[in-house]
Amino acid sequence: MPARDQAVRARYAPSPTGPQHIGGIRSALFGWLFARRHGGQFILRIEDTDQKRSVRGSVEQIVEAFAWLGLDIDEGPHVGGDYGPYVQSQRLDQYQRWANWLVEQGHAYRCFATPDELAEMRKAGRGYDRRYRDFPADRSAEQAAQGMAHVIRFKMPLAGTTRGKDLIRGEVAFDNAQLQDAVLLKSDGFPTYHLAHIVDDHAMRISHITRAVEWLPSFPLHLHIWEAFGWEKPQFAHLPVLLNPNGKGKLSKRRQQFADAGGKSVPVLVHEFQSAGYLPEAVVNFLTNIGWNFGDDREVFTNAEAIARFALQDVNPANSAYPIAKLDWLNSQWIQRIHANELASRLKPALEAAGYAVDESLLRRVAPTLQVRLKSLRDVAPMAGFFFADWNDFAAPPAEILIQRKMDAAGTRHILQSALPLLAALDDFSPEAQHAAIAAYAASSGLKNGAVFGSLRAAVSGQRVSPPTFDVMAILGKAESLRRIKLAVAALETAIA
Ligand code: GLU
């Protein structure tokens, strides 16, 4: 790897406006993959200069979301670092100092336009008319010294073209005549994004600004501010954003749930994915697949595998509709892919939340039987909770559960009674041995496997859906399985009588 890779420093710079949204993670993820690909650093910086929009507790939620997703952060408010503080409201003196420097150097000016004046300009359908751009410097300084309210605006070139290089989009060009003299410092002394992020990205030695494409229109302004400071510019990548599942509009931030094509609610906040039983590996894999291609027709891959191949140049510049339908499939793939013991420890909280006292060694035996069955961790309680209920309390399920399609009570009782001695005779009670014995019985009596296996499943689990029947019986053990089958036979006898 070339030596300059060592200097790669990318960042995620969210405004702390509430729970972490998946759209922000998607932008952050591409910066993170890029930093990791080049052995660089990934920095978290909190952009809280719009105090009205800041929500208490957001930083903790952002940090928790990254930790859950397994996206490690090298520097940030929670871990520190050499370039802190990493929270903009703690760096206000920096922005004021640099805004004043730009005024002194003639790159920016104080604007004393009153709210009424600005409202009038807006009403007339014009932008700000630059009325203080050429205001004499001594009068400007004097009015400021007298405490007259003002903002600081950047002096944009009035004509010509601004060109910039974007790592995803190539060269982009902007007509300067369309651009405004943007506000850098507000009258309350707080900076705008335009000033603050540049001061910080410079101070924090950011090498690559990876941010959402909605910042592309301000890119020429930012390039001129970098020039005015005379600082070496970082490289830029304006990332595509996620659209609503119907392809219309940016994936909504405030509306936390909305119906997708199938009418089911769609998770958009990181904690919603967590509580819906998605694995973080699946969520990250899902996001990485949007607008970037692993290649080789592979959709399931680890972060390490993605890092080895990731290049910003390969990101598709087009925004993507949120392909939420893929997530369930990816989740089931990841449930199969992680180690069964790991799956066991991730299932435990869902079982406990459903009220089961979890025996861990039992859970480790159950987990492998669930790997090909679960779509979501949350499905574990309805599917396999019965293992963790007190076995002494087990009662035969009602006849409508026991009796399979196209079967009746007498036929079901007959199947279960016939299975009892066959299972009792097995020394090896492995799923394979059970299967061989029961399948041979089904074949010799002209019954469908489905009817026979299904009757046994219902008898031993009490459910229509469970992990594979013979696995269930192997875990329950021979004595408990036979006991449950006998309970079912007795229940059916009562139903027949
Ligand atoms: N605070 C900005 C935002 O949340 C950051 C944009 C950037 O990454 O520079 O959109």
Closest listed residue to residue 161, CA positions, set 235, 223, 102: 223
Ligand 1 near 15 CB (within 6 A): yes
Q: Ligand 1, closest atom to CA 214?
A: 10
Strand 9-12: give its sheet, edge to edge.
41-44, 9-12, 208-212, 235-239, 161-166, 170-175
Cα 283 to ligand 1 centre (Å): 22
Classified as helix, coil or strand, 235 is: strand
**pLDDT band, residue 495 (cuts 50/70/90):** confident
Ligand 1 near 17 CB (within 6 A): no
Ligand 1 near 197 CB (within 6 A): yes
Overall average pLDDT of the 246-261 stretch: 67
User: What is the percent of the chain with per-residue pLDDT over 90, rounded to a whole number?
Assistant: 91
Longest dimension (CA), the chain: 106
Average pLDDT, the chain: 95
Name every residue whose Cβ is closer than 8 Å to that of residue 176 and which is 6 or more positions away in sequence: 156, 157, 158, 159, 160, 161, 162, 220
Residue 9, token pair as written in the block: 């420093």
Judge contact between 108 and 156, C-beta under 8 A. Answer: no
Q: Is the pLDDT confidence value at 256 over 70? A: no
Judge contact between 76 and 287, C-beta under 8 A. Answer: no
Residue 322, token pair as written in the block: 């949120």
Q: What is the rounded CA–CA span in Å between residue 396 and residue 458? A: 9
**Residue 255, phi then psi, degrees to nearest 5:** -75, 110
Q: What is the rounded CA–CA span in Å between residue 267 and residue 275? A: 10
Residue 423, token pair as written in the block: 């299972």
Q: Looking at this protein, which amino acid is placed at residue 472?
A: V
- Cα–Cα–Cα angle for 161, 164, 166, nearest 5°? 145
Q: Is the pLDDT confidence value at 261 over 70? A: no
Cα 430 to ligand 1 centre (Å): 57
Pocket probe mutation, ligand 1, options 9, 11, 15, max atoms within 8 Å of Cβ: 15
Ligand 1 near 31 CB (within 6 A): no
CA-proximal residue: ligand 1, atom 10 (nearest): 14
Predicted confidence at residue 254, as pLDDT, reads: 57
Q: Ligand 1, closest atom to CA 24?
A: 4
The pTM score is 0.92
Ligand 1 near 16 CB (within 6 A): no
Number of helices (H), then strands (E), belonging to the chain: the values are 20, 11
CA atoms within 13 A on the CB side of 113: 21
12-16, 262-266, 354-358: segment of lowest average pLDDT:
262-266
Q: Is the pLDDT confidence value at 2 over 50? A: no
Residue spans of alpha helices (H) in 113-172: 115-123, 137-145
**pLDDT band, residue 6 (cuts 50/70/90):** low
> For residues 61, 63, 67 and 72, what is the CA-based torsion angle, rounded to 10 degrees?
160
**pLDDT band, residue 60 (cuts 50/70/90):** very high
Q: Is the pLDDT confidence value at 36 over 90? A: yes
Q: Is the pLDDT confidence value at 262 over 60? A: no
Name every residue whose Cβ is closer than 8 Å to that of residue 350 and which is 6 or more positions away in sequence: 277, 377, 378, 380, 381
Ligand 1 near 47 CB (within 6 A): yes
DSSP 75: B
CA-proximal residue: ligand 1, atom 9 (nearest): 211
Judge contact between 76 and 86, C-beta under 8 A. Answer: yes
CA-proximal residue: ligand 1, atom 5 (nearest): 13
Overall average pLDDT of the 460-465 stretch: 97
Residue 351, token pair as written in the block: 């079982």
Predicted confidence at residue 126, as pLDDT, reads: 81
**pLDDT band, residue 258 (cuts 50/70/90):** low
Name every residue whose Cβ is closer than 8 Å to that of residue 95 and which is 6 or more positions away in sequence: 49, 88, 185, 190, 191, 195, 196, 199
Overall average pLDDT of the 272-298 stretch: 96
Pocket probe mutation, ligand 1, options 11, 207, 215, max atoms within 8 Å of Cβ: 215
Overall average pLDDT of the 16-33 stretch: 96
pLDDT tens-digit map of 224-250: 999 999 999 999 999 999 998 888 888
Residue spans of alpha helices (H) in 113-184: 115-123, 137-145
Ligand 1 near 14 CB (within 6 A): yes
Q: Is the pLDDT confidence value at 5 over 80? A: no
**pLDDT band, residue 151 (cuts 50/70/90):** very high
Ligand 1 near 211 CB (within 6 A): yes
pLDDT tens-digit map of 104-132: 999 999 999 999 999 999 999 888 999 99
Q: What is the rounded CA–CA span in Å between residue 306 and residue 289? A: 10
Assign 3-class secondary structure to 399-441.
HHHHCCCCCCHHHHHHHHHHHHHHHHCCCCCCHHHHHHHHHHH
Classified as helix, coil or strand, 315 is: coil
Predicted confidence at residue 234, as pLDDT, reads: 98
Judge contact between 212 and 286, C-beta under 8 A. Answer: no
DSSP 446: T
Pocket probe mutation, ligand 1, options 30, 197, 239, max atoms within 8 Å of Cβ: 197
Cα 210 to ligand 1 centre (Å): 9
Q: Is the pLDDT confidence value at 3 over 50? A: no
Judge contact between 156 and 183, C-beta under 8 A. Answer: no
> 317 preceded by cis ω (within 30°)?
no
Cα 208 to ligand 1 centre (Å): 13
Catalytic residue (one of 186, 233, 253, 326): 253
Q: What is the rounded CA–CA span in Å between residue 98 and residue 103? A: 9
End-to-end CA distance of the chain: 80
Classified as helix, coil or strand, 332 is: helix
Q: Is the pLDDT confidence value at 481 over 80? A: yes
Q: Is the pLDDT confidence value at 4 over 50? A: no
For the chain, how are helix, strand and coil distributed in percent, rounded to 5? 50, 10, 40
Overall average pLDDT of the 42-55 stretch: 94
Name every residue whose Cβ is closer than 8 Å to that of residue 182 and which is 6 or more positions away in sequence: 153, 154, 156, 192, 194, 218, 221
Q: Is the pLDDT confidence value at 388 over 60? A: yes
253 catalytic? Reply is yes
